[in-house]
Amino acid sequence: MKIAIISDIHGNLEALSALTESYDELWVLGDLVNYGPDPGAVIDFVRSNATVVVRGNHDDAVGFNRDPRCSALYRAMAKETMDFTLSVLSADQRTYLTGLPLVVSRTVDDTTFVLCHAAPSDSLYKYVPANSPEWEREMEGIDTDLLLVGHTHTPFVQTVGGSLVVNPGSLGQPKTGSAKACYAIWDRGVVLRAIDYELDRTLRKIDMMPVSTEVKEDLKAVLRSGGLATASASLVQR
């Protein structure tokens, strides 16, 4: 079975639409909403096409109207775009977000997977980058072939004990130093991929969002630079 694994779409419909590679199942590791201009369309696509979806901290924040607990440099962007997101989503779309599970286990072709947004010990908020020794502690007591996580917006594949920890990176707000949308494919092995999308169209949509000029410029700078800088600050983590 061929599985497309995506995470952190963040309302970026153009990045999601650029994922044209064929697959048998689509798995989504959370953060469908906030930051981007098309949260409703992203939710509708995921509801119609994804086999497995877990809840991210931004999905949780929008669904339950609470703080997504972003880093200081992203706080203004998260606050203003969350107000926008809440204004355009229907009650049914918000209910969908609240109903998403925090952790999912799957078995495919004798391979076991555990899926969560951030980390097993804190599925919504914990920030664990690649090569962190913290992954050794996170994997204690978890019996799986692959742990699939998102949240950091940076792709990696890391061996921890007898398991693989896989982060596909962010489809909708990559932080790799490149504007390309990131995802992963499982087909009896993991491959990390990155693709171009209609970035200029997304930027034009951001210009139309009812948020402050500073937030618009920061959002666009993050997308253009692959997360390395904004108009006002260097942003290297969420």
d(CA 71, CA 77): 10
Do the Cβ atoms of 205 and 38 come closer than 8 Å?
yes
The tens-digit pLDDT sequence of the chain (238 residues) is 999 999 999 999 999 999 999 999 999 999 999 999 999 999 999 999 999 999 999 999 999 999 999 988 899 999 999 999 999 999 999 999 999 999 999 999 999 999 999 999 999 999 999 999 999 999 998 999 999 999 999 999 999 999 999 999 999 999 999 999 999 999 999 999 999 999 999 999 999 999 999 999 999 999 999 997 554 443 433 3
**Fold observed for domain 3-225:** Purple Acid Phosphatase; chain A, domain 2 (3.60.21)
Do the Cβ atoms of 129 and 165 come closer than 8 Å?
no
Can you give the residue ranges of every domain in the chain? Answer: 3-225
Question: What is the 3 state secondary structure string of 13-51?
Answer: HHHHHCCCCCCCEEEECCCCCCCCCCHHHHHHHHHHHCC
pTM for this prediction: 0.95
Q: How is residue 138 written in tokens?
A: 């996170």
